[in-house]
Structure 1
Amino acid sequence: MARVKIVEVGPRDGLQNERQAIPLAVKLALIGRLADAGLTHIEAGAFVSPKCVPQMADTAEVLASLKLDGAVRYPVLVPNLAGLEAALKAGAREIAIFGAASETFSRKNINVGVHDSLARFEAVAQRALAAGLSVRGYVSCVVGCPYEGDVSPRKVAEVAAALYRMGCYEVSLGDTVGVGTPDRVLAMLDAVTAEVPVDRLAGHFHDTYGMAIANIYAALCAGVRTFDSSVAGLGGCPYARGASGNVATEDVLYLLHGMGYTTGVNLDAVTDAAWQIADALGREPGSKYARARGRSPAGGNA
């Protein structure tokens, strides 16, 4: 039976846009529940400017409370060499670097254009790899951009290939504003897989227009076997108006398990975690599965 890897991004991409302060204990409890549910790749935070993303200011404290040399990997995002040095000091074992296929989005997100961002990331990747860290790459706006509209699949392929060549073991392709549809996702993947092996790609779909699950299905059909998702559908993008949620991990698991894929993740345990973090935030989970199942376990599978 085919296996699909889930990269849980809720503790980072999911929580980074919350306006209310989230206590360290709440973050650690969420990460612990997700690990207990069987998730083996959990984004733990980001070493970015606390002025820009205040929710990530305690990332070093988060890492200090985790078992970083165990079976679960806890990648953190870093935008530059200063962020990498902070990650190394905190004991990180894996980092992620995040570029964009849109010139305007890149400038608004990390204050440099695409070309300069790749030069910056190459220096970060070289330093990280030399220190024995794993490096994952992200490409934002792989279908559309909130400022430029449609994004060329060829541009996405160029950025993805650059990240792969600089040593990223995996490149995550992000539909940051959730405007993708299956045909557009497949056209983008056609271009990218001509440059990067499909087994080195991941899909990262936002659900702004309700298309994330359909786009994941399309990517599965194209051979992608790794997907990013966020417990309870938490998150969005602070630079993309209307991009108000990542695809929910529970909904992705329901799709995958229903299609016969294995993930090693217990759906009900993740759903319980979704309700618990939603309660802490004072609202219902954003996932259809969690709301349909309610708070009572229903016997999941992995």
Structure 2
Amino acid sequence: MAFRLRPRLFSALRPTSTLRCFATEARLTPDHVRIVEVGPRDGLQNEKKTIPLETKLSLIERLANTGLTTIEAGSFVSPKWVPQMASSAEICEHLLKSPPQSQHKVAYNYLVPNVKGLENLIKVMDSTGVPAETEGSPSKPATSTEISLFTAATESFTKANTNCTIAESLDRFRPIVDMAKTKNIRIRGYVSVALGCPYEGPNVSPAKVADVTASLLEMGADEVSVADTTGMGTAPRTLELLQAIKAAGIANSDIALHFHDTYGQALINTIVGLEHGIRIFDSSVGGLGGCPFSKGATGNVATEDLVHTLHGLGMHTGINLEEMSKIGSWISGELGRFNESRAGKATLARIQK
């Protein structure tokens, strides 16, 4: 199938009207893109060296001051399986009691793999007396507490990641969704390996991805992030996937795209998503991240690179690229790792002249 970019990249394509609630905006305008920052959770969870709680909180606080409106803050998983996320309860308590100063309402998102994970999150909320949605005050910024649920588009990956089938993973989510709704907690679903699986190869069925995505939305997810976990996605296959999702009757406003940059295709695939009308994308400051179940998979597309590309295309994100670039450099230094953001390094070189 031949693929070419249409010359009028951003024609008047408005999000479909929906009853689903957005994290921080009532509606997304055609030229606005919401970026979901996944660095503090997805970006840090595979780091081998223990990261101090103070560093994690500092990262989140810095990010909250860039204009971001959604930040993955932690994961209520067993420390036995993901030791780096052992401090998520403390992070959650801190953000509820003393949210960072920000110009906008910020949604803080936490991965919950099962009912116990959500129960532990709710315990923290109940202990602080802070509800899932706050209006804020002159001394305390408005915040939202959200959760994420993960499944995948292939049986092999789901088995390796959660030791169950796709159908079983969806069944496990139903009581979590029901419990979250009683607390007014917004729910984000993830469909991993949507454009390539480390066990089954690059040709993942677009129809299967659409089916799993629809199942998450039907059970009550407010948004689903379709993830190229391995970075195998190409422009033609990304387009094919989005066409399958549209054919399934799923609105663009219910979908986010989550690209890893293993093969250097994340920004190209992002443009395909933009052309198709997607206006929510995930990224990680400094290109942090990886996947323990996908050998060789690199981190998420760097937030700095994504912001630079979007702004260059005339889109609006509300994010300060210079501040984000400083954070990418800082956290890379804290972790003793290479800064993966080209735009971030170039921006710093320019402003430091």
Q: Same fold (TM over 0.5)?
A: yes
Distance 1:27 1:225, change over 3 A: same
In structure 1, what is the equivalent of residue 94 of structure 2? 65
Specify which of 44, 54, 79 is matched with residue 50 of structure 1: 79
Counterpart for residue 118 of structure 1: 170
Q: Which moved more, 1:148-157 or 1:188-197?
A: 188-197
Q: Which amino acid aligns with 2:214?
A: A
**Hey, what does 2:40 align to over in structure 1?**
11
Number of the residue aligned with 2:70: 41
Aligned residue identity for 1:7: V
Deviations 1:251-274 (A, max 9, x none): 000000011111111011111110
Say if 1:250 and 1:289, in contact at 8 Å, map to a contact too.
yes
Distance, in Å, in 2 between the alignment partners of 1:68 and 1:158 is: 39
Cα distance, 1:135–1:109 mapped onto 2, change above 3 Å: same
Is 1:137 aligned to 2:189, yes or no?
A: yes
Q: Secondary structure at the match of 1:106?
A: helix
Equivalent in the alignment of 2:17 = none
Q: Deviations over 1:131-176 (max 9, x none)?
A: 2111010000111100011210010011000001111111100000
DSSP-derived class of the 1:284 partner: coil
1:68 and 1:74 in contact (8 A); partners too:
no
Q: Which amino acid aligns with 1:84?
A: L
Structure 1 distance, partners of 2:174, 2:67, is 33
Q: 1:68 to 1:5 in 2, by over 3 A?
A: farther
Please list the CA deviations of residues 75-104 of structure 1 after superposition, one character each: whole Å capped at 9, or x if unmatched. Answer: 100111011101111226210101100101
- Compare CA radii of gyration and give the structure with the larger one: 2
Q: Does residue 1:163 correspond to 2:197, yes or no? A: no
- Between stretches 286-295 and 213-222, larger displacement belongs to 286-295
Which residue does the alignment assign to 1:183? 236
TM-score, normalised by the number of residues in structure 2:
0.82
**Residue 284 of structure 1: how far off its partner (Å):** 2.9
Mapped partners of 2:198, 2:337: distance in 1: 27
3-state SS of paired residue (1:241) = coil
SS at match of 1:160: helix
Match of 1:199 among 235, 247, 253: 253
Looking at structure 2, the residues matched to 67 and 131 of structure 1 have their Cα atoms a distance apart, in angstroms, of 15
Which residue of 248, 272, 280 corresponds with 2:334?
280
The one-letter code sitting in structure 1 at the alignment partner of 2:253 is D
Q: Is the 8 A contact 1:268 1:298 kept in 2?
A: no
Task: Count residues in correspondence.
Answer: 299
Gaps of at least 5 residues in structure 1 are none
> Using the alignment, how far apart are the partners of 2:293 and 2:349 within structure 1?
33
Aligned pair 1:148/2:177, yes or no?
no
- In structure 1, how many angstroms separate the alpha carbons of the residues matched to 2:344 and 2:80? 33
The 3-state SS of whatever aligns with 1:199 is: helix
What's the secondary structure of 1:3's corresponding residue? coil
Q: Distance in 1 between matches of 2:239 and 2:151?
A: 21
Which SS does the other structure have where 1:228 is aligned?
strand
RMSD over aligned CA atoms reads 1.6
1:219 to 264, 267, 273: 273
Query: 2:274 & 2:97 partners in 1: Cα distance?
Result: 30
Provide the residue aligned with 2:141 in structure 1. Answer: none
Hey, which bits of structure 1, 4+ residues long, moved more than 3 A?
67-70, 294-299
Cα separation, 1, equivalents of 2:97 and 2:35 = 19
Structure 2 segments unaligned to the other structure (5+ residues): 1-29, 100-104, 126-131, 133-144
Amino acid at match of 2:39: G
Q: C-alpha offsets along residues 54-91 of structure 1, whole Å, 9 cap, x if unaligned?
A: 10011000111114797111010011101110111122
The amino acid of 2:156's aligned partner reads T
